[in-house]
Amino acid sequence: MSAVVDSHGHGHEHHDHHGGYSGIMRWITTTNHKDIGTLYLWFSFIMFMTGGAMAMVIRLELFSPGLQWVDPDFFNQMTTMHGLIMVFGAIMPAFVGFANWLIPMQIGAPDMAFARMNNWSFWILPFAASLLVISFFMPGGAPGVGWTLYAPLTVQMGIGMDLTIFAVHLLGMSSIMGSINIITTILNLRAPGMTLMRMPLFCWTWLITAYLLVAAMPVLAGAVTMTLTDRHFGTTFFNAAGGGDPVLYQHIFWFFGHPEVYIIALPAFGVISQVIPAFSRKPLFGYASMVYATSAIAILSFIVWAHHMYTVGMPVTGQLFFMYATTLIAVPTGVKVFNWVATMWKGALSFETPMLFAIGFLFLFTLGGFTGLVLSLAAVDIQLHDTYYVVAHFHYVMAIGAVFAGFAGVYFWLPKWTGRMYDEALGKWHFWLSTIFINITFFVQHFSGLAGMPRRIPDYPLMFETWNKISSIGAFGFGLSQLLFLYIVLKAIRSGEKAKDKQWEGADSLEWTHLPTPVPYHSFETQPVLK
Ligand code: CU
């Protein structure tokens, strides 16, 4: 990996932070927010390809009814690790990478507040990922229990389950340290004049996300720790025979799990809120309402968790509460979608690759939001629970929503990060191939789900064959299309044209906040450097 060039030629005290180390030692010891952002983004891509390879195994087995390629136990291990790796290894670290690169520059800070802890946050991740991979080689293999790690099945698993629990602890530590860093940086290191309500929206969404992480990750740590003590130390938290309750696990898990959805979605909203104004040549519409809507979504996300559990035998009053609370989230989400569309309204639109991915996000994330609204209705969800309709729903939010926002952000900021421009024609190819194949993969899963196909099974009745064949073809196509993305990024870094100072025709993200007089972040570079 070559040294990162600052496209503005100021150098950004780039070499101050790694004390003369070069080569691999530079990357291991770096405390520079840009280096660490780069590490996060490459780690995320490696995990994206690893979790993607597991998705290919899943779709290969499901290409035809009957058991052909892998045995059922290995299939279950694939669905478990695909979920864990994509959520904790691919999507979350990608947005932490964006946070590292962008937040200090957007608020005029010299670096992250705790630069050495920042290094630690990152370097925990490869160890956590290794534990997940090593669990496959333990007696009994990786736990085939689903990414939600539901009790009581987890109590019966082999030692791979313990490695997974330890991996979850490490991932949580990394996220919490990263969040403390982001909160402290934003609250303490803003340049004079950069009030909170003047921050670019990406900073706002991450500030709120960081609070969500600090509140939610310890809850997950508690859930897996109780699983660990049930396994090895004679407790019976989740065992009815000892006075416990397996449903307790689901309550604790989803008290983390639903905010986790917004931990992934809010930074994606932040990226989209920067890309759409840039390619509309207009400031973001409704900046303040965006901030309040983001906060409202974050608060509501803590009182809706049992919409994942309508089938456990909850009282009707409980079902009604969680149903109404969940549908309430549609209001602030609707405000956001309205604002993005209003930003484009009468704008001088252009459709380079970042904008294509942003508009793709807008359509397809909204589609995933609508199916979420369908599933929030308790009476409907009881029919659709654990079917492929649910799989289709959350892949529209995650695999399309969050991932497309990630692509939009990479194409948008790559010229700033590397000083070089990517191949626009190939970028558009990447967008169209991804969009077509991902919809072939997941749209048909609504149909197999409505027809009753259950999730997390390696085999199915003949009646579901057609939808599964189509879905698998889409998945293989989407997987191959991501090799094109790797090629585009490598080509840009090695031989891309030199990026212009304002690559996007004067509509550069960081200048286009809601401010009447845009404040370019260059003007904050005279701030004193923290040593
Ligand atoms: Cu939820």
pLDDT, tens only, 395-427: 999 889 999 999 999 999 998 888 899 999 999
- Residue type present at position 43: F
Q: What confidence category does residue 14 fall into, taking pLDDT thresholds of 50, 70 and 90?
A: very low
Cα separation, 498 vs 496, in Å, equals 6
Count of CB atoms within 10 A of residue 148's CB?
16
372 CA → ligand 1 middle, Å: 9
What DSSP string runs through 372-425?
Answer: HHHHHSHHHHHHHTTBHHHHHHHHIIIIIIIHHHHHHHHHHHHHHHHSB---HH
Identify whether 258 is a catalytic site residue.
yes
Largest Cα separation within the chain, whole Å, is 68
Compute the residue count for the chain: 531
Query: Residue 144: which of 164, 129, 166 has the closest Cα?
Result: 164
Tell me whether residue 308 is one of the annotated catalytic residues: yes
Where is average pLDDT lowest: 304-318, 482-496, 510-524? 510-524
Q: What angle do CA 191, 197, 199 make, to 5 degrees?
A: 50
- Supply the pLDDT for residue 511: 46
Q: Is the pLDDT of residue 243 over 80?
A: yes
295-321 pLDDT tens trace: 999 999 999 999 999 999 999 999 999
CA of residue 317 to ligand 1 center, whole Å: 18
What is the model's pLDDT at position 384? 95
**How far is it, in rounded angstroms, from Cα 1 to Cα 3?**
7
Least confident among 236-245, 331-340, 508-517? 508-517
pLDDT score at 480: 96
Q: pLDDT grade, residue 503 (50/70/90)?
A: confident
Q: Ligand 1: distance of its center to the CA of 266 in Å?
A: 14
DSSP structural state of residue 90: I
Output the CA 109–ligand 1 centroid distance in Å. 35
Residue 273 among the catalytic residues? yes
Q: Which of 40, 206, 254, 262 is catalytic?
A: 262
Its pTM surpasses 0.95:
no
Residue 19: pLDDT band with limits 50, 70, 90:
low
Catalytic residue list contains 147? yes
- Specify whether the CB–CB gap between 207 and 186 falls below 8 A: yes
The per-residue pLDDT for 169 is: 96
In the annotation, is 505 catalytic? no
Percentage of the chain lying above the pLDDT 90 cut: 80
Contact 135, 163 (CB under 8 A): yes
Mean pLDDT of 370-388: 94
Is position 154 annotated as part of the catalytic site?
Answer: no
Render pLDDT for 93-148 as a digit per residue (tens, 0 to 9). Answer: 999 999 999 999 888 888 999 999 999 999 999 999 999 999 999 998 899 999 99
Q: Is 260 a catalytic residue?
A: yes
Determine what percent of the chain is predicted with pLDDT higher than 70. 91
Q: Identify the active-site residue in 18, 282, 336, 393.
A: 336
pLDDT at position 496, please? 86
Active site residue 491: no
When pLDDT is averaged across residues 207-213 and rounded to a whole number, the result is 96
pLDDT at 282: 84
